[in-house]
Amino acid sequence: MSEHRTERGNWNSKLGFVLAAAGSAVGLGNIWGFPTQVAENGGASFILIYLICCLIVGLPVMIAEFAIGRNTRRNPVGAFKKLGNGWFPPLIGLWGVMCGVMILSFYLVVAGWTFGFVFGEIFYFTGLTGASEWVADLGNGFKNAIFTILFMIATIAIITGGVSNGIERATKTMMPILIAVLIIMIVYVFTLRGSMDGLRLYLLPDFSVVNTSLVFAALGQAFFSLSLGMGALLTYGSYLKKNQNIVESATYVTLADVGIAFLAGLLIIPAMFVAQYSGITIMDEDGRLFASTTLVFDVLPNLFKSMGGFFGLLFGASFFVLLSMAALTSTISLLEVPVSYLIDEHQVSRKKASIGIGGLVMLFAVIISFNINLIDVLATIFNNVGLPLGGLMLCTFLAWFWKSEKAMDEIRHGFEDMDNTLFPKIWPVFVTYICPLLIALVLITTLYNLIR
């Protein structure tokens, strides 16, 4: 066995794997992407549609990624190369590696903002108003670069530690803290005036706004939120032991992702209405709730300020620690994709690969730090087009090149009574027809809207 092969590592425990994969899935997409989409798109009816999208498209594709990863024990490029001939299979993997590098480059800048705001809150409440305003300036390239670099150093440090000592240990520590902090914050917000208005908006379904573009928006959000389409979960699957039930684990990861997105909404939407009670503007002229950066870096910090004193500090700093942890468990999965590619395909040591590719991504991220309008452009190309395209290629490959029977032979390991369940009848239909068709529709709609 060559040296690099022994470096691949394994997850130490079943729970460790589920938490690591859930950590990849739970990120900025859940904590600020999902709640505002819900508020803007018919409240609970969006939650329901989102849940259905996760179950009928996300879950089958996630099972496919885990199965390909575990069967080949390779990074995305090596995995597709091993299972198929010709130029097409490795291209799917390379597309994934490229999406990983590019998504990480801008995701890091946003993650750096959230990390900076932890200090921003502390500065504000300790009277260092100048420093807190400096941190709050999202357009300050130099400041952005500092926090982006710090965030990347943390990501590289974890990845250098390897699969069980680095990724698994870090996510096993951070995920329970994240869930606990989220729940404590929800309970506190519910005690504040105005929260019930938010809760009502969040939970009352308005089916009149449901249309096909809303369904496609939910599908796109599900794909990004579940970290699908670029081989991150395929790579995590490649460290899986044969005795772990892939279907069961994928179900837990999907439910954890949807559950945490739902909890984030329970916190953020009521918090916005608490802010409104304190006189903070939470909607634009058209009556739409503020979303994304305005929501997270403007409305919510103003709410924390209005709380004042110790509670403001505690609440504000905890919220940004929560966001930073969610982002960190996702950035490590994004970096692990190109790192595992270098380890497997180019026999580079884990340490050199992490520092080398991490350094390159850091350079891109610094450039983006100074040109933050690039974030939207890159997100459109790589999140909205890149991930569904990757997912479509993955399903096509599995169904027509590798064949679902072979994938099921892999899935049977750890799921011995699979043949006595409905799984072998349902899953192949989903990965072969339903998922590719729905993903293709999302892709076509996105491209159509872009060129229109």
Q: Which chain residues interact with ligand PFF by CB under 6 A?
A: 24-25, 27-30, 103, 224-225, 227, 230, 232, 330, 333-334
- In the complex with ligand PFF, which residue's Cβ is closer, 24 or 45? 24
Q: Output the smallest distance, CB 5 to ligand PFF, in A.
A: 24
- In the complex with ligand PFF, which residue's Cβ is closer, 76 or 198? 76
Contact 43, 410 (CB under 8 A): no
* Cα–Cα distance measured from residue 340 to residue 263, given in angstroms and rounded to the nearest whole number: 33
Q: What is the CA radius of gyration of the chain?
A: 21
Q: Output the smallest distance, CB 176 to ligand PFF, in A.
A: 18
**Interacting residues of 25 by C-beta distance below 8 A, sequence separation 6+:** 225, 226, 227, 253, 254, 256, 257, 330
* Cα–Cα distance measured from residue 262 to residue 366, given in angstroms and rounded to the nearest whole number: 33
- In the complex with ligand PFF, which residue's Cβ is closer, 42 or 96? 96
* Cα–Cα distance measured from residue 264 to residue 281, given in angstroms and rounded to the nearest whole number: 20
- In the complex with ligand PFF, which residue's Cβ is closer, 201 or 233? 233
- In the complex with ligand PFF, which residue's Cβ is closer, 246 or 258? 258
* Cα–Cα distance measured from residue 65 to residue 360, given in angstroms and rounded to the nearest whole number: 26
Q: What is the largest CA-CA distance in the chain?
A: 66
**Interacting residues of 416 by C-beta distance below 8 A, sequence separation 6+:** none
Q: Output the smallest distance, CB 392 to ligand PFF, in A.
A: 15
Q: Output the smallest distance, CB 24 to ligand PFF, in A.
A: 5
Residue 118 to residues 26, 138, 224: CA-CA distances in angstroms?
19, 14, 25
- In the complex with ligand PFF, which residue's Cβ is closer, 46 or 224? 224
Q: Is 18 exposed, middle or buried (0-12, 13-18, 19+ CB in 10 A)?
A: buried
Q: Is the dihedral of CA 398, 403, 404, 405 positive or negative?
A: negative
Q: Is 98 exposed, middle or buried (0-12, 13-18, 19+ CB in 10 A)?
A: middle
- In the complex with ligand PFF, which residue's Cβ is closer, 382 or 430? 382
Q: Output the smallest distance, CB 288 to ligand PFF, in A.
A: 22
Q: Output the smallest distance, CB 417 to ligand PFF, in A.
A: 31
- In the complex with ligand PFF, which residue's Cβ is closer, 144 or 333? 333
Q: Output the smallest distance, CB 327 to ligand PFF, in A.
A: 7
Q: Output the smallest distance, CB 381 to ligand PFF, in A.
A: 14
Residue 347 to residues 5, 39, 70, 76, 341: CA-CA distances in angstroms?
8, 48, 20, 15, 9
- In the complex with ligand PFF, which residue's Cβ is closer, 171 or 227? 227
Q: Output the smallest distance, CB 2 to ligand PFF, in A.
A: 27
* Cα–Cα distance measured from residue 314 to residue 59, given in angstroms and rounded to the nearest whole number: 37
Angle between helices 88-125 and 141-160 (to 10 degrees): 120
